[in-house]
Amino acid sequence: MTYLASNDRYNKMEYNRCGKSGLKLPSVSLGLWHNFGGVDDLENARSILRKAFDLGITHFDLANNYGPPPGSAEDSFGNIFKADFTAYRDEMIISTKAGYEMWPGPYGNFGSKKYLIASLEQSLKRMGLDYVDIFYHHRWDNDTPLEETMSALEMIYKQGKALYIGISNYNSERTEKAINILRDRGIPLLINQISYSILNRWVEADALLDVLDRNGAGCICFSPLAQGLLSDRYLNGIPEDSRAAKPHGFLKSAIITPEMIKKLKALNEIAANRNQSLAQMAIAWLLKDNRITSVLIGASSVQQLENNAEAIQNIVFSKEELHKIDELTQ
């Protein structure tokens, strides 16, 4: 069946200016890190993408290595885009990244110009696109001069293969260095994509948000639910079908101690008093800070997507709520 987007989609979402750029991003963006790979159900992925756009989620975030296998999330997205979203391309922000291992040998990893240029070419082919809206260097590379990495981003930007340039997983010191190199080349840094959540607060000690704000760059947060910890899944231990139960996942079962479960239950109680789920409160807690442009959520089902997107309906916290959350997590 031909997909027609909901006519009222832009009434369902808030949009925030990204730093001092002209670009606005939805408060909630959809990340395709999980659930969109070659091992996943393509029709479920299609349903999630359609529902996201109907909810006013215009930003879809990928990376070269998303899958599994690596590259397959971009393949899946490209297939769905061609079938459903071609007519809406100018209403969409599509981003991808390169920095982690993608192919064997010395040219398929990290931050060299060779790797970044080749990776984006591959990503564009997989997705069937002429350009992406945002291209990120995905991680810091100690062995490649930052000037070379930024030179690759400059080349991509000036060729029009990415409208905006971003970095990901750079701390405040490295971010400032990247900003200065790009600025000298006449290119603004649009955004830094970082891990940040109620339970993962390194950003605050690092003063990264201040650096981004001072330099007119935006911030988008991934893993806002701490790989699912900040949901109702772990309030009573580790379910057999959960990420933490899998031996090779990012969420390690050793983290889910009785102390952690106690903390999660206390956070859940605060959320319930706000008429929110724990996941909704975790997303809202990030969006309360106007230096956060958008929060990247994942989704394994349409229902999960809808529930988490509802977080934007209440991002105001009382001083008492913030104090309780800080006591539990800071």
Tell me what pLDDT residue 212 has: 98
pLDDT digits (tens, 9 = 90+) for 10-22: 999 999 999 999 9
Q: Please check whether residue 315 is in contact with residue 287, taking contact to mean a CB–CB distance below 8 angstroms.
A: yes
pLDDT digits (tens, 9 = 90+) for 106-125: 999 999 999 999 999 999 99
pLDDT digits (tens, 9 = 90+) for 254-276: 677 889 899 999 999 999 999 99
Q: What are the chain's domains?
A: 15-233+278-317 (3.20.20.100)
pLDDT (average), residues 169-188: 98
